[in-house]
Structure formats: structure tokens, C-alpha cells
A and B are shown apart, each in its own frame.
Chain A
């Protein structure tokens, strides 16, 4: 039977990992999966690191942004492309310094819109002190690309060993704020639910520099894993961590911050907010002894909704599982994301 690429392959879930494994990880020989002494696709992450001497590393990330629609409540594809790559560099422990972009735009795209998008991208970079040092610009004939895609490469310097996502038993899981805002907005826009009314839903897209730079400076040694839960959401991040480290991660529903309107909207669609993307939140694993201190510090940095939502546990049997305690004291398994997120009626 001939196989085809489906949207599920790009949804950040099980199918995507399978296809990446098949297309890349299996084909690239081990020796070429990283630069000597650095981090590459042997640690499949959004970014890579190359040692530059003095215990420092060059951190590089790449991401292609296609978002339908390019303008959404709370931002546009320009802010998203800038913030996303900045965050990818931050999550590996780097301080972002520069960015390159490649824009492909469809013939007939309004120039005015493109200006707004590019302005947002530049503004986001400038606010974070990140230089735009190169790029590419192409136009495709009508119908050969859906309006616009932006690919960005983020470049940063890590002052110490990069954070390679190796949570250990005992570590606490901290989230920096409300989860699922961006995913909810995008679903809303894609389902074309009525006019331009946006109500209380707004994307959380933003660079996490103000959170991560001070944290890295003070607590780098405490942080055993850091990730922004984009595609695949919280469920995706935690499942990856648990299966990578053969641990059991236990969280508590009641402690996971989800905005009321997002919860309501997700409920209407029958989707679980744990699988919705955030573009301005971080999930961290922090060593037990510093967890409380780190949390307090995060609060001081202005991320007042940050919480400890659970912890990493050692386990003989349930390696790679994520479980959550429900508000009424039951337990359920949080499965890795699979397939496209679509609403259900049943």
C-alpha cells in the first residue's frame, strides 16, 4: 500500500516522531548527528549546540512557521517566528543574539499585511536585543504556497553546559504560566467560528527572555530540563521527558494553570488543554532542593501564575508514563499526543 503524508505527521505527536525517525534519525550516521562535543539530533530538540571553547557553546535553532491564519488574536506570524526561535535558543540554555529569516510568500499577498508582519518580527527582535543578520525572500506563484511561511534560525551563546532535558527522579515540574492559549486561538481561527470576534481568547506568543535569562544566570545548575510546550502541548513535553529518561512523571490537574476561557472553549470542542500549544510559556524540570526557591524567583520575575505541577519519579514498571491526579482524587494516564487535534461531537 502506498503511504502518504497526512496532516497528522506534522502535529508534533507520535506520528511525527515516527516519520522523523524514519526519514532522518535512522539515515544519518551516528558520527554526523552532532558536531564533536556538541549536541545535535542525537538529542532531538528544536535546537543544537556547538562547543566554542571556554566552556561556552554556540546555540543554533531552526523552525519553519506556517500558521493559518497569519494574523490571529494576540499576534501574527512575524511575532511568532521571532519569539519561537528566541525561545528555542533559550530553552537549550542559550542567550539569543542573532536571527536569520527566510520568507516565502504567495503571489498576490497584500503588501500592507507583509509590512505589518515584518515590522512585528523586527520589533520583537529589537525589544529582546537580537540582531537580524541575514535572510532570504522568495515569491511563489499563486496556489503553490498558502499565503506565507517564515523560517527562522536563532543563534545564541550558552555560558555553560546546554540544558539537554534530562529530568531526574525527585525533580519538580514547574510551568511558567497559563497553558494552551495559543492552541485555543488557532483552533478558533481555523474552525472559522464566526466573524473576527475574539472574545477572551488571545495567543500568549512572546519571547521568554525575561524569564529564562535571569533563571539561567542564577539557577542553571538546578534546571534539568526546559521546553516551551508548542505543538503537542504539555502532554507532548512530559511524555517525551518520561520516555527519554525511563521515569514516571506525576502531575496534579488542580495545579495546572489553564485560563477559564481556554478551558471552556476546549470543553466545547471536546479537546484537552494539555495538548494545546503555548507560545509564551515554559515547562521546567527543577531539582527538588531548589524547586521552591526557583518558583519564588519566577514569581518575582513577574510570572505570577507559575506553579509546581508535579514531579518526576523513579519506577520499575511504569517507565515512560505520565499520570495525573484528577481534581476529585482519581488517576488517569496522560497519553502522548497523536493525530491532528480536531473537535468531536460525541
Chain B
């Protein structure tokens, strides 16, 4: 079976160069209009989703938008913000003979301290731990049911991943030997926090608009973001992930800026509704409770994480294996010395402003968490080049000859 009409839509949104050109021209036009009107020459638009950041870099959007427009990434990677403590606990489990299931990016994530010689689940595997990479929870349930050994699934993610864990419990998919280490984080608190920080200590330029996460919003609904437009006076566009989706969202932000509006608008209409999916929301509420949770490099944010409710202890790896929770009193910035990841995550610094970037800290030997996850801003800049590099290389490609 083919993807039918979707393939056609995707083709346009991903490959239609003419259309991209038109949208880019329009963005440039509005940008100039805005500058003339307000005298502001530099704008900053923040995205909050690793996959948006990925689209922006993968399709080279920074080489297309006006040079006064900065596209920066917020705390949009659920892997980067997992405190080192929980990775250490997971490594311990793996080295103690528990089968550990992890997503690929969690598998690579480095802890700040080593546990018996291993800094990551990947190293734990080299040292004999049974760590298995999975792409989804059903694969883990099947695999674990097959071997019957004590197993733990590292359940990171944002609101988008939460229904997976909720339904696997509610629909009794989990075999008795598989427990969940739920480390789900909620995105709105992180976004509000980043905006709060930048309101108190504005960056130059300040944040002028927000590209809000598309897939999180399929669950939460677009309504989750209205406080951003209301309280911070910023245009918010919930965007799809094709390059043209993102460009059109930027255009919408520019439009609002020129018209002096600050509204929450859905660009990703094909997937996102205003209220989200109520059934998924109910399942999440049933299984999980909202807790104050620690974000790596940021600290404890109130009501920003999910843990299993007591009724579901049977499935809880925290309970089964006595995994210790991090307490606010023992919080210390778990960033290695010199690492500016905390600022990078909040859009306050570029990776290139970190003295360690591509010197001591590289994707092979990451120092800080932003370099670890494939979604981390530093890792993305390392892989696809910084904006500055990109602009210069674009220039060179246009002028150089073979």
C-alpha cells in the first residue's frame, strides 16, 4: 500500500524548489518591511523541537532566511535533558545483569561520572552488560517476553512518547519481567522557563517568535501554547516538519510581527487540532502523576515530569529495583566544567561560543550533553555546520568553480 495523497503532499513540501523560493522571498519582503517599520534589524526565532532543528539544518534553511534572522533551538531534546544520575542508574542496572532496553540516542548518552568504568550504556555493553537498542516499546515487550529475564525499558520522551508507555500498561502488553523506568518530561514548563529566563535577562536580539513542537501538540493540542502568546506577547506557530512547513511557519511569524500580533496559530493542520487527543490525554493522566523534575543543566522545574502512579508500581522500575530519585537538595549542575550546554539549551549561546566546541568536545568524545544526543544542538552544529560556516560555504559554493 502506498501513502496515497500524503506522498504527493510530502513531495511538494519537501522538493518544490519554486515554492520554497516564493516563500523565502516573501519572508525577506516582510523582514524588510518590519525593519523599516520598527528599526529592528535582527530577529530571533526559537524552535522547541529537536526534529524542527533537524529539518532546519538538514534542509539548510539557515542558508535561505534573511541574514538578520537567527533560528535558535530551545530545550527540545528529551534525551539531552536527562540528568546524569539516571543514566548512571541505568548503567548500574545493565552491569548488574538486568537487560536494558534503550532508544539509540539514550544508548549513546554519556553520564558525568563513570559507573564501574562505563560512562554510557554503550560502554556498559562493551563491558558485558546486556543493552539492547529498540525503536519502540512493542519490540521490547516482544523481546522481553521471549527471554523472560529481568528487564528494564528506559522510558524517556516528551508528551508524544507518554501514550506509548500508558497504553502498554493499560492494554497489558508488558510481560511481568519488563519494568519501565519512566523519565518523561513535559514541554510547556520548559518553554515557559526558557522564555522567563530570556525575559529577565534578554539576549541580543531577544526572542521574537516561537516555532512550537508539532508532534507534542498532536497529543496536548495547540491550546497548550496559548500562554506563550498571551503572557510573553510572542507569535507562536505549531509547525509541521517538512522544510516548507517550517518556512511557511516562519512566514506566519513574520506576518504577525509586521501586523503587531501575537497569536497561537497551527500551521501543521493536517495533524494537530486545538484540543489534542482527549483519549491519549486521559490515558496519560490515569497512569502517570505530574512531578517536579530535574532537567540536565537547567535544574528542577515545577510540574515538569511524569512518573508512574502508585497503583502501577508493578510496572515501575524505580520500585522494583530501588532506583533512587534525584532530590532537589542534592541538585548540582551536572554539567562538566566549561560546558555551556545549559545556555545553549536555552538559546542563549551558540555552540560555537563554547570554548570546548569541536576542540575538547566532539561527537566522538562528547563532553557535555548537548553534544551527546543526536538531537543536541552542539551535535547538530558539529554534524551539519554552524550558521556562520554555512553562510560562508554557501557563498563559496556559489562562486567556486570546479
Q: Give A residues with C-beta under 8 Å from B.
A: 2, 4-8, 14-15, 18, 169-171, 191-194, 248, 250, 254, 268-270, 288, 311-315, 317-318, 321, 323, 325-333, 335, 338-340, 342-346
Q: How far is the CA of A339 from the CA of B384 in the complex (A)?
A: 15
Q: How far is the CA of A328 from the CA of B63 in the complex (A)?
A: 11
Q: Are A332 and B375 in contact (CB under 8 A)?
A: no
- List A contacts of B15 (CB < 8 A): 254, 327-328
Answer yes or no: B260 CB below 8 A from chain A CBs. Answer: no
Q: Are B393 and A330 in contact (CB under 8 A)?
A: no
Q: Are B77 and A346 in contact (CB under 8 A)?
A: yes
Q: Which of B120-128, B271-279, B324-332, B349-357 contacts A (4 or more CB under 8 A)?
A: B120-128
Q: Which of B50-58, B85-93, B190-198 contacts A (4 or more CB under 8 A)?
A: B50-58
- List B contacts of A269 (CB < 8 A): 104, 135
Q: Are A312 and B402 in contact (CB under 8 A)?
A: yes
Q: List 21 A-B contacts (CB under 8 A).
A: A4-B117, A14-B364, A18-B364, A170-B402, A171-B402, A191-B134, A191-B139, A269-B135, A270-B54, A313-B401, A314-B400, A326-B60, A328-B14, A328-B17, A330-B63, A333-B393, A339-B108, A342-B104, A343-B104, A343-B133, A346-B77
- List A contacts of B390 (CB < 8 A): 331-333
> In angstroms, how far is the closest chain B Cβ from the Cβ of A2?
7
Q: Which residue of A has the minimal Cβ distance to B243?
A: A328
- List B contacts of A338 (CB < 8 A): 363-364, 383
Q: Which residue of A has the minimal Cβ distance to B114?
A: A1
Answer yes or no: B61 CB below 8 A from chain A CBs. Answer: yes
> In angstroms, how far is the closest chain B Cβ from the Cβ of A333?
4
- List B contacts of A4 (CB < 8 A): 117, 123, 126-127
Q: Are A268 and B57 in contact (CB under 8 A)?
A: no
Sorting the interface of chain B by its residue count into under 10, 10 to 19, 20 to 34 or 35 or more gives 35 or more
Question: Chain B 368-402 against A: per-residue CB contact (8 Å), 1 yes, 0 no?
Answer: 00000111000000111100011011101100111
- List A contacts of B392 (CB < 8 A): 317-318
Answer yes or no: B16 CB below 8 A from chain A CBs. Answer: yes
Q: Give B residues with C-beta under 8 Å from A.
A: 14-17, 20-21, 50-51, 54, 57-64, 77-79, 103-105, 107-108, 117, 122-123, 125-127, 133-135, 139, 143, 156-157, 161, 243-244, 247, 363-364, 373-375, 382-385, 389-390, 392-394, 396-397, 400-402
- List B contacts of A18 (CB < 8 A): 364
Q: How far is the CA of A330 from the CA of B398 in the complex (A)?
A: 12
> In angstroms, how far is the closest chain A Cβ from the Cβ of B362?
8
> In angstroms, how far is the closest chain B Cβ from the Cβ of A287?
11
Q: How far is the CA of A108 from the CA of B329 in the complex (A)?
A: 55
- List B contacts of A170 (CB < 8 A): 402
Q: Which residue of A has the minimal Cβ distance to B127?
A: A4
Residues A191 and B135 in contact in the complex (CB < 8 Å), given A327-B17, A329-B20: yes
- List A contacts of B60 (CB < 8 A): 325-326, 328-332
> In angstroms, how far is the closest chain A Cβ from the Cβ of B213?
11
Q: Are B364 and A326 in contact (CB under 8 A)?
A: no
Q: How far is the CA of A339 from the CA of B57 in the complex (A)?
A: 20
Q: Which residue of A has the minimal Cβ distance to B11?
A: A327
Q: Are A321 and B393 in contact (CB under 8 A)?
A: yes
- List B contacts of A191 (CB < 8 A): 133-135, 139
Q: How far is the CA of A34 from the CA of B375 in the complex (A)?
A: 43
> In angstroms, how far is the closest chain B Cβ from the Cβ of A138?
25
Q: Are B127 and A331 in contact (CB under 8 A)?
A: no
- The one of A327, A333, A342 that contacts B133, using a Cβ cutoff of 8 Å: A342
- The one of A248, A268, A332, A340 that contacts B135, using a Cβ cutoff of 8 Å: A268
> In angstroms, how far is the closest chain A Cβ from the Cβ of B218?
15
- List B contacts of A5 (CB < 8 A): 126
- The one of A313, A339, A340 that contacts B400, using a Cβ cutoff of 8 Å: A313
Q: Which residue of A has the minimal Cβ distance to B23?
A: A328
- The one of B126, B373, B396 that contacts A248, using a Cβ cutoff of 8 Å: B396
Q: Are A345 and B103 in contact (CB under 8 A)?
A: yes
- List A contacts of B243 (CB < 8 A): 326-328, 330
Q: Are A345 and B105 in contact (CB under 8 A)?
A: yes
Q: Are A2 and B117 in contact (CB under 8 A)?
A: yes
Residues A317 and B396 in contact in the complex (CB < 8 Å), given A328-B16, A333-B390: yes
Residues A333 and B384 in contact in the complex (CB < 8 Å), given A317-B396, A328-B59: yes
- List A contacts of B135 (CB < 8 A): 191, 193, 268-269, 343, 345
Q: Which residue of A has the minimal Cβ distance to B21?
A: A329
- List A contacts of B373 (CB < 8 A): 344, 346
Other A-B pairs, 10, CB within 8 Å; known A335-B382, A346-B51 = A311-B402, A312-B402, A313-B397, A318-B392, A326-B243, A328-B59, A329-B20, A333-B390, A338-B364, A345-B161
Q: How far is the CA of A4 from the CA of B77 in the complex (A)?
A: 28
- List B contacts of A171 (CB < 8 A): 402
Q: Which residue of B has the minimal Cβ distance to A312?
A: B402
> In angstroms, how far is the closest chain B Cβ from the Cβ of A88?
26
The 8 A-B residue pairs whose C-beta atoms are closest, nearest first, are A330-B60, A342-B104, A333-B385, A328-B20, A346-B375, A346-B50, A331-B60, A327-B15
Q: How far is the CA of A343 from the CA of B104 in the complex (A)?
A: 5
- The one of B61, B134, B396 that contacts A318, using a Cβ cutoff of 8 Å: B396
- List A contacts of B400 (CB < 8 A): 248, 313-315
- List B contacts of A314 (CB < 8 A): 400-402
Q: How far is the CA of A331 from the CA of B15 in the complex (A)?
A: 14
Q: Are B374 and A344 in contact (CB under 8 A)?
A: yes
> In angstroms, how far is the closest chain A Cβ from the Cβ of B359?
15
- The one of B54, B61, B77, B397 that contacts A250, using a Cβ cutoff of 8 Å: B397
Residue from the set A194, A288, A313, A344 with the largest chain B CB neighbour count within 10 Å: A344
> In angstroms, how far is the closest chain B Cβ from the Cβ of A113?
21
Residue from the set A268, A311, A326, A345 with the largest chain B CB neighbour count within 10 Å: A345
Residues A342 and B20 in contact in the complex (CB < 8 Å), given A191-B135, A315-B400: no
- The one of A194, A311, A335, A344 that contacts B384, using a Cβ cutoff of 8 Å: A335
Q: Which residue of B has the minimal Cβ distance to A288?
A: B402
> In angstroms, how far is the closest chain B Cβ from the Cβ of A221?
19
Q: How far is the CA of A335 from the CA of B143 in the complex (A)?
A: 34
Q: Are B397 and A332 in contact (CB under 8 A)?
A: no
Q: Are B363 and A339 in contact (CB under 8 A)?
A: yes
- List B contacts of A342 (CB < 8 A): 104-105, 107-108, 133
